[in-house]
Amino acid sequence: MDKKLQVKGLTISFKTREGKVQAVRNIDFDLNRGETLAIVGESGSGKSVTSKAILGILAGNSIVENGEILYDGKDLLKISEDEFHKIRGDKIAMIFQDPMSSLNPIARIGKQLTEAMILKGKARQKESRTSFNTYLAKLREEMKTIIPQEEAVRKCHDFDKFEYKHLELESAYNRAHEAATEAIDDIDALCFELGKKGAKDVRYRVGRIRSLSMASVQEYVVKEDADALKATAASLPRLARAAGNNIDNEPLVVALRAIGEILKKAVALEQPNFFALGYYSVFSGQAIPALPVAELNKSMRSYLDDHFMLDFIENVTLALRKSAEKTADNMRRAVDLIGEVRPLFTAETLDKGKTYAALKTLGAAVSASIDPLAITKDSLSYTFESAFRSELDRYFSGFSGNVREQKRFDRQTAKQNRQRARGKEPSWTVVEPSLVDFDLVKSNLLAQLDRTAAHYREALDAADSRDFREEAVAVIDYLKDCASGVVLKVTKQMAKNKAIKLMEEVGISEPRKRFRQYPFEFSGGMRQRIVIAIALAANPDILICDEPTTALDVTIQSQILELINKLKKERRLSVIFITHDLGVVANMADRIAVMYAGKIVEYGTSEDIFYHSAHPYTWALLSSMPDLDSTDRLDAIPGSTPDMLYPPKGDAFAERNKYALKIDFERQPPMFRISDTHYAATWLLHPNAPKVEPPKAVTDRINRMKQKREAQNDGE
Amino acid sequence: MENNQEVLLRVEHLCQFFGSTKAVNDVSFDVKKGEVFGLVGESGCGKTTTGRSIIKLYDITSGNIYFKGIRIGAGLMSYRVAIREAKKSFKEKAKTADAASRSALKSERDRIIHEQKKQMKAAKYDRKHCDKEYAEQQVALVKGKYLPLISAARGEKQRTLRSEYRNELRKAKKARLVTKIQMIFQDPSASLDPRLTVREIISEGLIIQGEKNKELINQKVDEMLETVGLVREHAGRYQHEFSGGQRQRIGIARSVIMQPELIIADEPVSALDVSIQAQVINLLNDLREHLGLTVLFIAHDLSVVKYFSDRIGVMYFGEMVELASSDELFLNPLHPYTRSLLSAIPLPDPEYEKKRKRITYNPLAEHDYSVDKPTMREIKPEHFVKCNQAEYEKYLAQLK
């Protein structure tokens, strides 16, 4: 599993007049690609704060006290706002709890939906162009060392040139092909409704089908039947007028079906190899021969291979190998250097001058060990210097800071004691001094050094088994992707079409009319759908859903959950799903983290949490929600969440916990391991703790569910 | 559920149109005394509009609403339609008829129009004066209680009785039948005035009713706070000092202090955390037991509705499609929309959930109403489904 996002030791507090409110207290989790992680907890448990930290939109009075959030090799807590612009919305999107506050009240829905698409489209074009150009430039530099300079330059230039021709051809094909598929869908839907005599907007829809089928006439899509298609399509508006109010729509249906047949045939045709076609049409100087697609592909492919591709791949392979060898040397050097400076960090107290000097040389060595031609970035090397430096800074700031904190603590304790001596119970508590633990920081530093060295050794060991030819093909695919990003221009019309499609997809009826309305004209559920559509518009990697369905009713909720699930599967999207309702996440979540008072109290796969939950808080959550079979009085959780200005000394849930032990009020429980995937922080799991059974409501439900499942299986 | 229970609220052919939008279209149901009647459906299907029409926040377009046997709401559209129809049919028939039958037809038409106009007048009168009649009743009650006492008493006692009588009489004159129906709203923070203390919020209704005795009001408020699980000290605070669940408790206290007989709870727990939801549902259940309240429970969370309600009506696009006792509805859902609704309920069971298939409901594909229009039919005792003859037979076969 590749980890998409890692959160380590995250601690966030908010500065208020009364003191520091500790919203998130030392949480760790990671998110794999294509997985859903559900974070469940009551309001005020810090789940929203965590998600906002990931997106870099914490409130101004927040302090990130500790921890890191790694995404794509970058620590999101440390990168600049400019870098964040590339990630926020585009790579990590968020659906907020309250739709009204995330929509602009004075802009039309259509504008808000398309705005980001158009802007991001432009940005993507620009970014793809830069990454294409920079990578090609790097490749050229590397190739120059292998083959004569002019040849390297010429080859890269040629590649650049025909790659653009390829995309021109392909995008023309794609436009026609897409129009055809869309027309087929529309025709099917319309024919169905006409058959039932319940079609609406017939004339508009027929017009759209007409223009779509006209657009699908292209050399490799609808070619032979083009005339027949055009003739039938031209007659459509007349037929639609004649059909009027669904009275006599037989001729219209016949015409539509005829068009549908032609398009279906066209869509099923084989797709030509435009990559090879592009090369042929640029460099052969001849027109593309009119052959059947299969033969055409074969001849074009062999032409491309003979004249350019095989040779080019060979060169790229060599360049990659060379660059990898260079990097390997640097890695060896870095490993040696780490070995040299390591003793500096094992000393009793670190030497400020020496350690910073070591960091400087080390940083240079590590950044030299990044292969310029690697497509996926080596995250560890990229973050090495900044992460190491911040840890070092923390260490040295501790010398003065610890004294100051200790003084404050002593002063306040003395004041309290004085009050107590006068017989008055002070109404305030003293915040524990936040001291830098020197040993912990030192061990962190050493761990990072060791981790980096081990990582390099691993890479060096694996170097022999690398297949550079395969990598060369991957490089060419990468360049192709970049190039297609450049030609993919998002026009207003395209954005509008896509927006209307998205609106339909999230279940908004009459999207064309809705497109021109303002947010206040929508009901709560509809607004939330708009917000989801906006979030999905950018095709993000990670989708953070902050209570997206809380305000929606069951059908819509399950539609939206299905939608998110579908997108997750199609795009290998990673989802962080934040909710207070455990019932919702059963079909969504792969893993669940239960949060309470800023801490993760239980963590496991959804089976672990629903069938074998171990934390009393999870039990309480499970037993407080009614299901279809519950008739007994619900077990509500008494009281409310603790005041995080003065977090309780022991387990935060102890106050409301009927299973609380004495130790729960005194010491915070550590994470106990139940299985490889399942962890819980409760003293009940301690070997010496008394045996406690989960509440009856929970066990009963599990049994009931089991019976139901068996009945379901029998039924199949 | 016994059939002979007293009907507290009867809704007959309720229609509520906003311009061309038919928010509620021909909905009929009864709510019996002491039961919880659940209304479910997706957002925008007219559940809230139904609730608001009952409490007379809207003037209904057509239909009748009876509360405790008194017509409190009446729409006129049905009568107007009847008159129009009569005129139209007369015109058509008159074309072919001879003079004698013509005059007969004419008198028939006039009779219908006269009758409908009379009914219209009665409806208008009821709509406007239902409270007046109720107030007169109350006044008569108070008079009957105090006047003999006063004439029998002498001296100081008579004076106190007199002032008490005046107080009660003032309240009785102001009495409104509709105040016996109270509403609890979805969003507690939006439905409570942020500038009033809790005491002011809760006592507002009493003061409007004409209660002037401060001590009595305070005592009632304190009692009510304890009933809903808050403490007396909370009375002096403002709503923003409370958590969501506590705010909803204040909202409940505000409506229960009016001693209502029917509470319309419009999504009272949708905006709350699951753990708090349980607290509020438990509270509503307790109140219902202790005070014998009748509740019209509007919600979209089917698990909660199932848990809380005795009978459930399912609404779709302004129409009631199925109505049955809650166990029956979940055991034998017949209407395809109900089935799709039930199939959408998430259960806290990952393995079951992974296999769950949501049924989608497409009215065009499911029904063929081009010839035979659907009506509400009783498939089983107390189980109604909107269907036409063909579907009726199909459903009957399904039940066997």
Output DSSP code: residue A649. Answer: S
**Is the pLDDT confidence value at A592 over 90?**
yes
A556: nearest CB among B43, B245, B368: B43
Least confident stretch, A416-425, A530-539, B192-201: A530-539
Per-residue pLDDT tens digits for B108-150: 889 989 999 999 998 888 888 888 888 888 899 989 888 888 8
Per-residue pLDDT tens digits for B221-255: 999 998 888 888 888 888 888 877 888 889 999 99
pLDDT at A70: 84
Structure tokens at A323: 């660059």
Give B79→chain A minimum CA distance, Å: 30
- Across the interface, do A637 and B278 touch by the CB < 8 Å criterion? yes
Give A482→chain B minimum CA distance, Å: 37
Residue % of chain A over a pLDDT of 70: 98
Give B384→chain A minimum CA distance, Å: 21
> What residue of B is the nearest CA neighbor of A43?
B273
- Across the interface, do A626 and B278 touch by the CB < 8 Å criterion? yes
B44: nearest CB among A523, A606, A709: A523
CATH code for residues B34-45+52-71+182-309? 3.40.50.300
Contact between B374 and B387 under an 8 Å Cβ cutoff? The reply is yes
Chain B residues in contact with A559 (beta carbon < 8 A): 344, 358
pLDDT at A78: 74
| The dihedral formed by the CA atoms of A277, A282, A285 and A290, expressed in degrees to the nearest 10 | 20
Distance CA A213, CA A217 (A): 7
Higher pLDDT, A641 or B381: B381
Distance CA A447, CA A586 (A): 37
For an interface test with A, the pick among B349, B358, B359, B361 (most A C-beta atoms closer than 10 Å) comes out as B349
Least confident stretch, A76-85, A259-268, A600-609: A76-85
A523: nearest CB among B43, B273, B356: B43
- Across the interface, do A554 and B301 touch by the CB < 8 Å criterion? yes
> What residue of B is the nearest CA neighbor of A702?
B349
A70 C-beta neighbours (distance < 10 Å), count: 21
For A218-287, the DSSP string reads -TTSB-TTHHHHHHHHHHHHHHHHHHTTTTS-HHHHHHHHHHHHHHHHHHTSPPP-HHHHHHHHHHT-SP
**Tokens 């330059």 belong to residue:** A153
- Across the interface, do B43 and A625 touch by the CB < 8 Å criterion? no
> What residue of A is the nearest CA neighbor of B359?
A555
Rg (CA), chain B: 25
B274: nearest CB among A621, A640, A708: A621
- Across the interface, do A555 and B44 touch by the CB < 8 Å criterion? no
Question: Could you give phi then psi for residue A32, rounded to 5 degrees?
Answer: -85, 165
Chain A residues in contact with B352 (beta carbon < 8 A): 586, 705, 708-709, 712
- Across the interface, do B365 and A192 touch by the CB < 8 Å criterion? yes
Report how many Cβ contacts below 8 Å link chain A to chain B.
148
Distance CA B378, CA B388 (A): 12
- Across the interface, do A552 and B43 touch by the CB < 8 Å criterion? yes
A571 C-beta neighbours (distance < 10 Å), count: 14
Chain B residues in contact with A708 (beta carbon < 8 A): 349, 352
**Tokens 């037929």 belong to residue:** A239
Contact between A623 and A635 under an 8 Å Cβ cutoff? The reply is yes
- Across the interface, do A636 and B349 touch by the CB < 8 Å criterion? no
Instruction: Give the H or E element holding residue B211.
Output: none
Higher pLDDT, B365 or A53: A53
Instruction: Pick the closest to residue B210 from B184, B172, B156, B162 (CA basis).
Output: B172
Distance CA A455, CA A624 (A): 47
**Is the pLDDT confidence value at A1 over 60?**
no
**Tokens 């004085």 belong to residue:** A418
Residue-range domain boundaries for chain B: 34-45+52-71+182-309, 324-337+350-400
- Across the interface, do B300 and A192 touch by the CB < 8 Å criterion? no
The mean pLDDT value for B29-45 works out to: 88
Per-residue pLDDT tens digits for B63-114: 999 988 888 888 888 888 888 988 898 888 888 878 888 888 888 889 989 9
Chain B residues in contact with A553 (beta carbon < 8 A): 41-43, 300-301
**Is the pLDDT confidence value at A371 over 50?**
yes
Chain B residues in contact with A42 (beta carbon < 8 A): 273, 275-276
The mean pLDDT value for B188-202 works out to: 89
- Across the interface, do B350 and A640 touch by the CB < 8 Å criterion? no
The mean pLDDT value for B358-374 works out to: 81
Residue % of chain B over a pLDDT of 90: 18
Per-residue pLDDT tens digits for A11-55: 898 887 777 888 898 899 989 888 899 999 887 788 888 988 998
- Across the interface, do A628 and B345 touch by the CB < 8 Å criterion? yes
Higher pLDDT, B328 or A715: B328
* Residue A687 burial by Cβ neighbours in a 10 Å radius (0-12, 13-18, 19+): exposed
**Is the pLDDT confidence value at A118 over 90?**
no
What region does A428 belong to: left with phi over 0, alpha with psi -120 to 50, or beta? beta
Contact between A578 and A546 under an 8 Å Cβ cutoff? The reply is yes
3-state DSSP assignment of residue B76: coil
pLDDT at B347: 81
Least confident stretch, A324-333, A346-355, A379-388: A379-388
Give B388→chain A minimum CA distance, Å: 17
> What residue of B is the nearest CA neighbor of A553?
B300
pLDDT confidence of A652, banded at 50, 70, 90?
confident
Distance CA B82, CA B89 (A): 11
For chain A, helix, strand, coil in percent to 5 are 60, 10, 30
pLDDT at B2: 44
Give B117→chain A minimum CA distance, Å: 36
**Crossing angle for the helix pair A554-571 and B336-343, to the nearest 10 degrees:** 60
A267 C-beta neighbours (distance < 10 Å), count: 17
Least confident stretch, A125-134, A470-479, A483-492: A483-492
**Is the pLDDT confidence value at B1 over 50?**
no
- Across the interface, do B352 and A552 touch by the CB < 8 Å criterion? no
For A556-592, the DSSP string reads HHHHHHHHHHHHHHHHT-EEEEEES-HHHHTTT-SEE
The mean pLDDT value for B212-227 works out to: 90
Per-residue pLDDT tens digits for B275-326: 778 888 888 888 888 888 899 999 888 888 888 899 999 999 889 999 999 9
Question: Could you give phi then psi for residue B186, rounded to 5 degrees?
Answer: -70, -55
Chain A residues in contact with B308 (beta carbon < 8 A): 626
May I ask the CATH architecture of the domain A145-269? Up-down Bundle (1.20)
For an interface test with A, the pick among B275, B280, B308 (most A C-beta atoms closer than 10 Å) comes out as B275
Higher pLDDT, A571 or B318: B318
pLDDT at B200: 92
